Amino acid sequence: MQEQTFQYTDEDAGMTFDLTNIIASFLPDRRQRIMLGAHWDTRPRADRDPDPLVREQPILGANDGASGVAVLLEIARLLHEYPPPVGVDIILFDGEDYGQEGDIDRYILGSTHFAANMGAYRPRFGIVIDMIGDSDLAIYKEHYSVALCSPVVDLVWNTADRLGLEAFHPDVEYAVWDDHIPLLRAGIPCVLVIDFDYRYWHTLEDTPDKCSQESLAIVGELLTHVIYGQEAQGERNLP
């Protein structure tokens, strides 16, 4: 495991923050690699809470942050116990959710730093997961993923269809500025898997009781089949 540390200065607030991306590589000598990512930070302000008196309080982030990390931690356990046919890199990004609404430059800090400092690293493809713990899980295709990385979107949704995972829907429903954006810009074919229709988003009510272990299991099952499937080994037509 590696820790990629960096600093971010919020000039408006006059504050500098120490941030850390966490990177775990399985079978690091394998040339064929896939990347899995999630953000491990939570929002420092509940700016969408219906109570204006609590909007400067940090959220717990059971779904928006913790759900993706929970799935990847279980995937890491599985990869350790059952070595995959390809190398796998799990990256937990810091600072994804720091920014103010309407100011996109202060979001996705960890993935932006990683993309700017990844050197020759080029996985075959990447999948970023976010907000996948909603007890009423409904995952639609994300606009930037479809526009810039449609073969990997097809891989993910075709796998979900083959497994009978009804939480995955075929329509494009939203465009989300998330950690896949810097990776796409850096040349990594990367898609976002997210349920963005979550009523407790950026509120103090984003707590574990709003989440479901069944939802986590659905996404975990999908990722497991992608990792251990033939597509990950380059036997199908991917970017």
Average pLDDT over residues 112-122: 96
| Euclidean distance between CA atoms 153 and 7, whole angstroms | 33
| Euclidean distance between CA atoms 96 and 107, whole angstroms | 5
**Rounded (10°) angle between helices 213-228 and 143-163:** 90
| Euclidean distance between CA atoms 174 and 50, whole angstroms | 23
Task: Please report, to the nearest 10 degrees, the dihedral formed by the alpha carbons of residues 121, 184, 125, 83 taken in order.
Answer: 60
Given a cut of 60, whether residue 239 has pLDDT beyond it is no
What is the per-residue pLDDT across 41-97, written as a single tens digit (0 to 9) for each? 999 999 999 999 999 999 999 999 999 999 999 999 999 999 999 999 999 999 999
Q: How is residue 99 written in tokens?
A: 């920014």
Using alpha carbons, select from 144, 131, 125, 151 the residue that is nearest to residue 227. 125
Using alpha carbons, select from 98, 114, 91 the residue that is nearest to residue 16. 98
Query: ∠ CA 187-150-107 to the nearest 5 degrees?
Result: 55
SS3 76: helix
Fold that domain 2-233 belongs to in CATH: Aminopeptidase (3.40.630)
Rg of the chain in Å (alpha carbons)? 17
Please tell me the predicted confidence (pLDDT) of residue 232: 62
| The model's pTM | 0.95
Contact between 39 and 96 under an 8 Å Cβ cutoff? The reply is: yes
What is the per-residue pLDDT across 159-208, written as a single tens digit (0 to 9) for each? 999 999 999 999 999 999 999 999 999 999 999 999 999 999 999 999 99
Per-residue confidence at 231, pLDDT binned at 50, 70, 90? Answer: low
| Euclidean distance between CA atoms 141 and 176, whole angstroms | 10
Per-residue confidence at 104, pLDDT binned at 50, 70, 90? Answer: confident
**Rounded (10°) angle between helices 213-228 and 66-81:** 40
Please tell me the predicted confidence (pLDDT) of residue 221: 97
Q: How is residue 39 written in tokens?
A: 């953000």
| Euclidean distance between CA atoms 101 and 166, whole angstroms | 32
Bridge partners, 39 (sequence order): 93
- Average pLDDT of the chain to the nearest whole number: 94
Given a cut of 50, whether residue 113 has pLDDT beyond it is yes
Task: Tell me the CA distances in angstroms from 201 to 97, 99, 130, one per residue in order.
Answer: 11, 14, 12
Given a cut of 70, whether residue 37 has pLDDT beyond it is yes
Bridge partners, 19 (sequence order): 6
